[in-house]
Chains A and B, each alone.
Chain A
Amino acid sequence: MHIVIIGATSGIAQAAVRQWASEGNSLTLFGRNASELERIAADARVRGASGVYVHAGDITSISYIEIAVAQLEKIDQALVAHGSLTKSQRVETDARYFADEININLVSAAVWTQLIANAMAKRGGGSVAVISSVAGDRGRYANHAYGAAKAGLTAFCDGLRAQMLDRKVHVVTVKPGPIDTPMTAHVAKKGALSGTSEQCARDIIKGLDKRRDVVYSPWFWWGIMRIVRAIPERIAKRLKW
């Protein structure tokens, strides 16, 4: 199988790359940091990937995305994993930062997904997983800007999944809860509700293989977000969470 990964240097993507590599798949990695990508690629090769291709560049620029997807030859599965954790406070005063963040988390991610889905449809089908977030399920005090971009991305993926249904392309929306950084993951879980990159990567791979529509990771965030969305706005607006 050939799998394309966008934002391959992210923790979740790296964990997924390792698993795909050990199963002997071939991979194409996109990211910004060339030397980091090379190290990830070397690791994947030693772990058993049948071929690893690396492209470093500005993965949030629309023209880059167009050229990159046009040059892909084979693509069975894909993971769109790049993103940036927007600082809400900075958004208040820095409009350009805000626009850039929306571009990274929503516009560029949606464009990658659309173009990859088109390419897959042309070749007879495929599956693409997109990392959104539980933050997109409801706007909250602490991350309104990030949540807005992810809400947009979630809606986009839902629509695209419907559009692509007859063209044999499947879209998986991945909604991770908080992910422990490895330092804390290694000692003890920070909170009982957080997951690890490895766990999330396993959920993504399973979601792609089984063609799930929406994957919460860890799975119980599905229940938590049901409750969070059920809270009436007149109460929710008073919660500084």
Chain B
Amino acid sequence: MTPLSLDQPWGRGFTVEHTHEFASDDTLPEQSFLPRGLGRSYGDVCVNDGGVLLHNFRRDRLISFDEVNGVLRCEAGASLADIAQVMLPRGWFPSVVPGTRYVTVGGAIANDIHGKNHHLAGTFGKSVLSMKVRRSDLGVQEVDENHVLRSATIAGLGLTGLIDEATFLLNRVPGPGIGQETKLFGGAGDIDDYLALDTASASWTYTVGWIDTLDRGLRGVFFRGEHCEGSDEWLTPQPAKFAMPIDAPRWALGRWSAKAFNELYFRAQSMNTAKRETIPLWQFFFPLDAVTAWNRAYGKRGFVQYQFVVPREASRETVPKILSHLRESNVASYLAVIKSFGDVASPGLMSFPMPGVTVALDVPAPNDRDRRALDRADAMVADVGGRVYPAKDARMSNVMFKRFFPQWEQLEAARDPLISSSFWRRVTAAG
């Protein structure tokens, strides 16, 4: 679970200068700072070049738990990994989890994370009842459902104050298993097949697709899952069996290895298709956590993750258009994730999800040509009223950011004057 450097985001690729401090119970730094959890954000939302990085992951105590209603109060440095492990034996699980369990509650709120159940549950922020937020100018604020800071703090990228504590709802689950079904889709170069599967699976709690963006036919694998009982051994995750020992060399990261990887993955999945199996939920939600420092697989020069969402009405046409544009521009990408967001309104001012279709793809060490191709993809997203996910971004232009999030000035107004991030300075720059 260890990132390689505190001065890099998870996507690596660049290093900045920080002064590191632990968050204390009472004081805040007196110069520019940025609260940080476990640093799993891919891009520069989790770094603050030239300022203080205020580490909060050590303030990870659980404070109270209401066993009847599933309401947990904890310090914001507590990780979903820890919470899930403590609560699963009692039949509770976080209502929303992202693709890694190594995320703090504070980070989950600040990026208003979503998961494979977005179509039913909405974002993590939706489960938050109240927060204790500490600011350099206003002191400690108990932010309940009516507080002005609530909508700015959820998806507020950590800018509205140090999130000290949070109270949120967990979900009742029958056990540590997931009943999973796998189906293949695509081949025709559109996402109609995927959309049909997704509609047919609307009552499933978890749905997600892997899509091969290097394949002209846009083939993919659709997964749907439901909580179920499972062996007691599944109550705790298997410790990571493998750590990426070295940075992958450059030659292993090109378009051809991506193609080969996608081919192998697709073939492996074709053998599972239409099979129903019960697997430990850790494996279903957090497959990459099984490999410590998996980000090294993308080499020293790192990678960017490109995640966009387009509104539902535009998705059928726009998603294949963007993916073929990236393919034709020779942007290498390993298997990408496709997911339909539901109608549940996001509670944050700057929340990323909107009703529609989102795609996330990894681009290893993008060169200038890749970056130009991504810039053009940004424009295609903006033209249909979609947006790109700040939590994963390290590259979008300030102009595009302001088109994606015209409400950004409201977050700027609610920002703690001492808090900033490299991301925020970059995307809010004039011009």
A interface, CB within 8 angstroms of B: 22, 39-40, 42-43, 46-48, 182-183, 186-188
Contact = CB atoms under 8 A, between A and B. Distances in A.
Given A39-B63, A42-B64, A47 B2 contact: no
B6 interface: yes
B5 interface: yes
B403 interface: no
A46 B58 CA distance: 17
Contacts of B2: 186-188
B147 interface: no
A55 to B, nearest CB: 19
A22 B64 contact: no
27 contacts: A22-B86, A39-B61, A42-B61, A42-B62, A42-B63, A42-B64, A43-B61, A43-B62, A43-B63, A46-B62, A46-B63, A46-B64, A46-B72, A46-B74, A46-B86, A47-B86, A183-B6, A183-B20, A183-B22, A183-B55, A186-B3, A186-B6, A186-B38, A187-B2, A187-B3, A187-B6, A188-B4
B16 to A, nearest CB: 15
B194 interface: no
B65 interface: yes
Contacts of A47: 62, 86
Across the A-B interface, give the 8 residue pairs with the lowest CB-CB distance, nearest first.
Answer: A46-B62, A43-B61, A46-B65, A43-B62, A182-B58, A42-B63, A39-B61, A187-B6
Given A182-B58, A187-B2, 12 more contacts: A39-B63, A43-B61, A46-B63, A46-B86, A47-B86, A48-B86, A183-B20, A183-B55, A187-B4, A187-B6, A188-B2, A188-B4
A188 B293 CA distance: 11
Contacts of B38: 186
A40 B20 contact: no
Residue picked from A46, A47, A182, A187, most chain B C-beta under 10 Å: A46
A186 B86 CA distance: 21
Contacts of B72: 46
A183 B7 CA distance: 13
A196 to B, nearest CB: 11
Contact of A187 (B5, B22, B62, B63): B5
A46 B165 CA distance: 15
B185 interface: no
B32 to A, nearest CB: 19
Interface of B: 2-6, 20, 22, 38, 55, 57-58, 61-65, 72, 74, 86
B133 to A, nearest CB: 18
Contacts of A48: 86
A14 to B, nearest CB: 9
A103 to B, nearest CB: 28
Contacts of B4: 187-188
Contacts of A42: 61-64
Nearest to B74: A46
Contacts of B61: 39-40, 42-43
Contacts of B63: 39, 42-43, 46
Nearest to B86: A47
Contacts of B20: 183
Residue picked from B5, B20, B58, most chain A C-beta under 10 Å: B58
Nearest to A185: B2
A186 B57 CA distance: 9
Contacts of A43: 61-63
A46 B75 CA distance: 12
Nearest to A43: B61
A61 to B, nearest CB: 26
Residue picked from B3, B5, B57, B62, most chain A C-beta under 10 Å: B62
B91 to A, nearest CB: 13
Nearest to B62: A46
B69 to A, nearest CB: 14
Contacts of B86: 22, 46-48
B289 to A, nearest CB: 15
B55 to A, nearest CB: 6
Contacts of A46: 62-65, 72, 74, 86
A34 to B, nearest CB: 13
A163 B62 CA distance: 41
A186 B2 CA distance: 6
Nearest to B90: A48
Contacts of B64: 42, 46
B61 to A, nearest CB: 4
A33 to B, nearest CB: 10
A175 B64 CA distance: 34
Nearest to B55: A183
A157 B162 CA distance: 45
Contacts of B22: 183
Contacts of A186: 2-3, 6, 38, 55, 57
A72 to B, nearest CB: 25
A35 B373 CA distance: 55
Contacts of B57: 182, 186
Residue picked from B20, B55, B61, B65, most chain A C-beta under 10 Å: B61
Contacts of B3: 186-187
A22 B62 CA distance: 12
A41 to B, nearest CB: 10
A47 B38 CA distance: 21
Nearest to B5: A187
A144 B3 CA distance: 36
Nearest to B65: A46
A186 B4 CA distance: 9
Contacts of A22: 86
A222 to B, nearest CB: 24
A237 to B, nearest CB: 37
